[in-house]
Structure 1
Amino acid sequence: MLTMREKAPTRRGLLKTAGALAGAMVLPDAVSAAMRATESGSAQLPSSSLAPVRPTPKVTPSSPRVVSPDLMRKALAALERHGNRIALRDRIVIADFSAPSSQRRFHFIDLVNGSSVSKLVAHGSGSDPAHSGYLQRFSNQNGSNASCEGAFLASDYYVGKHGRSQRLIGLDPTNDNALARAIVVHGAWYSNADMLQKHGRLGRSQGCFAVGENELAEVFQRLGQGRMIYAAKV
């Protein structure tokens, strides 16, 4: 698990890399080697937590540029706006809800070296009542079962009804009810990649960022505590 003791990169270095990313996104294939180099001083996941239990279907990335320049600019603006709340600014996570749930749209973007890793993530049932696989709307209301948009601070871990989970603090008026609504990161069977073979889309959460059960340990490691998730549909 990554810790708050990670060495923070210089502000100049972050701005340089972030500016380059906002202009032209990195390719999703340029990921694991660079990420391992970046995290060489951090705790390593057991190999069993990363190995799939069965062959998984090919998943099309949401964009050859990972995210659009407009979405990247919005995420970087949110990082700057909430900078005093975000302890770790070396890496951000962007949930690109303009893409369907059949695509890898939960993007871990390294602002130091420009690499990225993308994962599947479900949206809320209240955001997609017809279960089309596409997010139709956001909501910050209790009982909506919808995803909410904006910047989130990754907070502490706990064990709840979905097993190991991570609390999120909403930083914008569009998601400031996230903690009260228990909008969290957790693993779910309906977010496993084999759902695409059976149904062509993931299942739906109650507004949480639900990732595949076999991906959860890696997601927690890459996100850590004190980083920002930015969710939007651009």
Structure 2
Amino acid sequence: MLVKQMNSSVRSRATLLIAATFITLGLCANANAQTLPDDPAEEQTVATPATPAVRAMATPATTLSAYDQESILRKYDHVDPTNIVPTQPLIQALIYFEQNRSSFPNQNYITIINYAQSSRQARFYIVDLNSGGVWPLHVAHGKNSDPNHDGIADSFSNASGSNKTSLGFFRTAETYYGGHGYSLRLDGLSSTNSNARARAIVIHGANYVSEASVVQGRSWGCPALSMKVRTQVIDALKGGSLIYSVFDKSATGS
């Protein structure tokens, strides 16, 4: 399992990876460069998106009693033992997943992306539901979600041509090879991301994303990852796993 293999020392491995990447950047780039370049492409659209039927799904915390919510969460006591993932988004994702379990064929992982955190931080959290381990990664956000390129996303959109990140629940779908190589399509399950497939909002690798604590380059709305982890992540998450994209400021201390 992707995260299970890393579970014995998630924090130490992440620290080593960041340190190694800093060394590489120092050798290959300007030592003072702390902001990576943007995606040179334009936001893509799918002319005739073959969007699978998405049935109505339960919304977390609105259809369950406090007792039922607690019963669900007890099943996942083993998840995130070192409290890496922002608490409320993790709770919401676990309840949503459990309420709609049959809609997610890939039940090995859920992913939480917290765009309230700076792109300098590893804010793409892959949660192994079997081992409970977490793999935090860096991820890009949309160019127009961060107009001044300071690493902080300020606004979000579901509109085509907005070049912004979308929030909400997603389900991973099929893989394909596009302009960014090996990529993973996403279907939006919320009103705030229902155009994800039509906008070609996908997980892909990018040279403007690094596993280093720098301001990442900006995408055109896609949650782009480092090329070093792209294939491993896509292979783990493809085929119907849950991704929850949120803006949760409680994790930033503000």
CA gap of 1:102–1:88, structure 2 versus 1, over 3 A, is same
For the pair 1:69 / 2:87, whether they are aligned, the reply is yes
Give the AA of the match of 1:56. Answer: T
How far apart, in 2, do the equivalents of 1:141 and 1:33 lie?
37
2:159 aligns with 141
Tell me which residue corresponds to 1:211.
225
Distance 2:139 2:236 in 1: 15
How do residues 21-170 of structure 1 correspond to structure 2 at under 5 angstroms?
Answer: 32-34=5-7, 55-57=20-22, 65-170=83-188
Counterpart Cα distance in 2 of 1:227 and 1:56: 29
Contact 2:106 2:237 in 1 (8 A): no
Identical positions, percent: 36
- Runs (4+) of structure 1 exceeding 6 A deviation are none
Letter in 2 for 1:184: V
Q: Secondary structure at the match of 1:215?
A: helix
CA offsets 1:21-62 (integer angstroms, 9 cap, x no match): xxxxxxxxx963448xxxxxxxxxxxxxxxx8x93139xxxx
Ranges in structure 2 where 5+ consecutive residues have no aligned partner? 9-16, 24-81, 249-254
CA distance in structure 2 between the aligned counterparts of 1:89 and 1:31, rounded to whole angstroms: 14
What letter matches 2:170 in structure 1? F
Aligned residue type for 1:55 = A
Counterpart in the other structure of 1:226: 240
Aligned length: 181
* Structure 2: distance between partners of 1:95 and 1:165: 18
The DSSP-based 3-state class of the residue aligned with 2:230 is helix
Q: Give yes or no for contact 1:108–1:222 (8 Å, CA) kept in 2.
A: no
Task: Identify the residue that residue 49 of structure 1 maps to in structure 2.
Answer: none
Shift in alpha-carbon separation, 1:172–1:121, aligned structure 2, 3 A: same
CA contact (8 A) 1:92 1:109 kept: yes
- SS in structure 2 of the partner of residue 187 of structure 1: strand
Q: TM-score, normalised by structure 2?
A: 0.65
**TM-score, with normalisation over the residues of structure 1?**
0.71
Contact kept? 2:137, 2:211, Cα under 8 Å? no
- For 2:108 and 2:226, the matched residues in 1 are separated by 24
229 and 100 in structure 1: CA distance in 2 versus 1, 3 angstrom threshold: same
Instruction: Mark the runs of 5 or more structure 1 residues left unpaired by the alignment.
Output: 3-29, 36-51, 59-63
Please identify, of 82-91 and 102-111, the stretch whose mean Cα deviation from structure 2 is larger.
Answer: 82-91
Q: Is the 8 A contact 2:166 2:192 kept in 1?
A: yes
Structure showing greater Rg: 2
The one-letter amino acid of 1:151's match is F
Cα deviation for residue 96 of structure 1 reads: 1.3
Residue 137 of structure 1: CA displacement? 1.5
Out of 200-209 and 65-74, give the one that drifted further.
65-74
The alpha-carbon deviation at position 231 of structure 1 amounts to: 0.5
Shift of 1:106: 0.7
Mapped partners of 1:55, 1:82: distance in 2: 40
